[in-house]
Structure 1
Amino acid sequence: MIRDVNIEDRPRERLLRQGAMSLSNQELLAILLRTGTKEESVLILANRVLSVFERLHHLKDATIEEMVAIRGIGEVKAIQLLAAIELGRRLAQKHSDEKYTIRSPQDAAAYLMPDMTSLKQEHFVVLFLNVKNQILHRQTIFIGSLNASIVHPREIFREAVKRSAASIICAHNHPSGVPTPSEEDIEVTRRILEAGYIIGIDLIDHLIIGDHQFISLKEKGYF
C-alpha cells in the first residue's frame, strides 16, 4: 500500500521536492487518482490504467465508459482523469494554434487529421484565422450526423466575430473513412459560404477527413 512507501518517495512529496518533471507517468496518474482500493495502492491502480490503454498517448481518446470499466475506477475518478486530459489537450492546442499558419488545404489537413481521422462520430470543427492565415482558435461546433438544420452558420460566425477572425476553415470527419462529400456536406458548405459573404468573413475551405485521407471541397470546385 502507499503508506508502506517511504514518505520521501511518495509521488506528492517527490513532486513538492523535485518538481513534476521528475515524476513518472505512473506517479503523475497516481496523484490525479488520489486513492487506490482496499486491495491495492494508488500506484498499482495507476499502473493498471496505463496497462489497459497500452500507451500514455491512448489515454487522450479514452471515454468515461472505458474508464469506469477498469476495476477501482469509479465515476468520480474517471471524471477527474478526463478533465485533466482535456485540460492538457487545450493547453497543447493553444500553444500550437499560436504558431500554426494555413497556406494550403494540406496544411489544414495536417493540423486536423491526427485528432479527427479516428473519431467514431462526426465532429464539425472550425478553425478561425487572422489576416495572416494564422490560427486564432479552434472549436468543435457540433458532434453527430451532419445536418444543415443543426450546423447553423450563426453558431460559427458568432464565434468568428467574437474572435475577430478574418476567415474560417471548416472541417468534419467521416467515420466510415471515406471522405467523399454528400449532398448534405455540400449544402452546409454553401450556406456557410453565403453567410460569410454577407458578414465579410471568408470561408477558405471545407475539408472532409477520412481514414488518413481528406478532400478539399474548394479544390474539388464545390464553391
Structure 2
Amino acid sequence: MNIRQWPLDERPREKLATLGAAALSDAELLAIFLGSGCRGLTAVDLGRQLLNHNGGLRALLSREEPLPRLRGLGAAKRSRVLAALELARRCSGPELKRDATLRNPADSAEFLRSRLSSYPYEVFAVVFLDNRHRVLAFEELFRGTIDGTVVHPREVVRACLRHNAAAVILAHNHPSGVAEPSESDRAITAELRQALGLVGVRVLDHFVIGDSAPVSLAQRGLM
C-alpha cells in the first residue's frame, strides 16, 4: 500500500507535523529523508530495510563505508541519507576547536567520548597540542576489529612531527562498552611515551572510551 493511502495520522510527514519528530520511529525519520519508496516498498519499508541491513541506527551512524545498494535506494536517496547521518554525527557532541586550550581531563573527555563511543570496532585517536596545550588537530589514526587494533608508534611519531606537536592526548574505544584499561592499553601507552619522548613530545593522558564516563590512565596513575 502506498503511504498516501495510509490514514493521515500514520503518514510520517503528517505525523511529524502534528506530533513532532520525537514521535516518529527511526524508520519513519529515515523515510522523511528518503522522500519516496519504490515499487512494492514504501519509504518507511526502505528505512526499515536500511536499519536492519546495518544492525540499527547506532551502527548506521558509525558506518564509514558507502551505503549498500539496496533495491529502491538510488544515488539521490543515498546522498540524502549520508548527509543526514553526517549532520547527526557533527551534532552528537562538543567540538574540539583549533587553538582551544585543554587544561584538565574533563576538557577533552566528553569530546573523545562523543567521537569514539559509537564505533563497533576499535579506533585509536590522537589529539595534537602545542606547548601551551592548545589544540592543533585531532586524528583517528588506526582502526581495528571488535576486540583490538594495532598501533604503530612510528606512525604516531610521524603524525606528531607533521603537526609540529609538543604534546598529545591518546584515546581509543572499547566496543564492548567496558572502559577498563587492559594490560595491552598500558603497554602501548608506555611504548608511545618512550617513542614520542625521543622527539620531545609529551603524552599527557590516554583515555579509554566505553558506554559510561571515559577512563583516564593519568588519573588512575597508570602512566
Partner of 1:181: 181
The structure in which a higher percent of residues are helix is 1
Kindly state the Cα deviation for residue 146 of structure 1 after the two structures are TM-superposed. 3.5
Kindly state the Cα deviation for residue 156 of structure 1 after the two structures are TM-superposed. 1.0
AA matched with 2:219: E
Kindly state the Cα deviation for residue 205 of structure 1 after the two structures are TM-superposed. 0.5
TM-score (norm 2): 0.65
Unaligned runs of 5+ in 2: 1-28, 52-56
1:119-166 deviations in Å (ceiling 9; x for gaps): 21111111111222122111111111445xx30111112111111111
AA matched with 1:114: S
Contact 2:96 2:111 survives alignment (8 Å): no
1:51, 1:100 → 2: CA distance?
42
Kindly state the Cα deviation for residue 212 of structure 1 after the two structures are TM-superposed. 2.1
SS in 1 for 2:204: strand
AA matched with 1:151: V
AA matched with 2:130: N
Partner of 2:12: none
2:87, 2:208 → 1: CA distance?
27
Partner of 2:124: 124
Contact 2:99 2:136 survives alignment (8 Å): no
1:213, 1:73 → 2: CA distance?
37
Kindly state the Cα deviation for residue 45 of structure 1 after the two structures are TM-superposed. 5.0
1:39-90 deviations in Å (ceiling 9; x for gaps): 89xxx8599659977xxx9797153789437641158964785488559968
How many pairs does the alignment contain? 189
TM-score (norm 1): 0.65
Unaligned runs of 5+ in 1: 1-24
Kindly state the Cα deviation for residue 101 of structure 1 after the two structures are TM-superposed. 2.5
Seq. identity, %: 32
Contact 2:33 2:77 survives alignment (8 Å): no
SS in 2 for 1:168: strand
1:142, 1:110 → 2: CA distance?
20
2:131, 2:89 → 1: CA distance?
26
Note closer, same or farther for the CA distance 1:82–1:159 as it changes in structure 2 (3 Å cut). Answer: farther
Partner of 2:105: 105
Note closer, same or farther for the CA distance 1:85–1:134 as it changes in structure 2 (3 Å cut). Answer: farther
Partner of 1:190: 190
1:70, 1:180 → 2: CA distance?
39
Note closer, same or farther for the CA distance 1:78–1:64 as it changes in structure 2 (3 Å cut). Answer: farther
